[in-house]
Amino acid sequence: MQRKQEVWVVAIFAVVVVVAAIGAAFLSGNAGSTSNFKATTVPAVTSADHIRGNASSTVSLIEYGDFECPACGAYQPLIQQLLQQYGDRVEFAFRNFPLYQIHPDAMISAQAAEAAGLQGKYWEMHDLLYQKQNEWTAASPDTVVSKYFDGYAQSLGLNVARFDADIQSAAVKQKVQDDLGTGNAAQVDHTPTFFINLTQIPNPTSYAAFTQAIDAALASSTAVK
């Protein structure tokens, strides 16, 4: 009996260590470290961007994200809450930054969101990809569309045949590359990476830290997008 108890204690301790390690990675490596932070800038939001909120706001929040990135998925509830809280006071734009070197489905999922956007359902697909991230990320890039993305497209009322064609179209692939290009020029090296009024900020580690950064931008009389 004592031996079994010792085994359970060791097992529980191991789980705690793993959870702590995941949390540390989320707050540092995957989510961006604040050590030696150097702010960079990105191009202004244009009609080519996917936008939520108020396009005429004096404050923009831009995210460079990867649909397969666990840290990006973890940040999504915070982003949704921010959009609800600030409403038309902030403009939010999402730009693709698929880390395809480490996330096999990152590129094809970015193309899936862009393909849905051609049928007017970009944000619906964006949200669905994050909501179901744990479901589709185990599939290979060769099968993930037929196994999962086609079903998502159908559930959103899209023309699936058109979606399948658009996901591999030159226009969709170019849009993802354009986003990657602006991110690379801004030295983005992790996802998510956030910019307020075109200037990179250290990734907030809490909702309160996010609101403080946005409130400071809203209060600034020199706020520009």
| Domain-located, residue 147 | yes
Whether 35 is covered by a domain: the verdict is no
Q: What tens digit of pLDDT does each residue of 142-161 get?
A: 999 999 999 999 999 999 99
What's the longest Cα–Cα distance across the chain?
69
Same domain, 168 and 105: yes
pLDDT of residue 35: 62
CA dihedral 104, 109, 115, 120 (to 10 degrees): -170
Evaluate whether residue 126 is within a structural domain: yes
Expressed as residue numbers, the domain containing 22 is 1-30
How do residues 89-137 score in pLDDT, each as one tens digit? Answer: 999 999 999 999 999 999 999 999 999 999 999 999 999 999 999 999 9
Return left, alpha or beta for 53; rule: phi > 0 is left, psi -120 to 50 is alpha, else beta. left
Quick one: 101 and 210 in the same domain? yes
CATH assignment at residue 121? 3.40.30.10
Q: How far is CA 62 from each of CA 31, 98, 109, rounded to the nearest angstrom?
A: 15, 15, 19
26, 50, 73 from 91: Cα distances, Å: 25, 10, 20
Please tell me the total count of domains within the chain.
2
pTM: 0.84
Can you read off the two tokens belonging to residue 99?
Answer: 């880390």
d(CA 99, CA 65): 9
Q: Are residues 74 and 12 in the same domain?
A: no
Phi, then psi, of 188 in degrees rounded to 5 = -65, 130
Answer yes or no: do 119 and 204 share one domain: yes
In a domain? residue 179:
yes
HSE-up (13 A, CA, CB side) for residue 193: 30
| Angle between helix 170-185 and helix 106-117 axes, rounded to 10 deg | 120
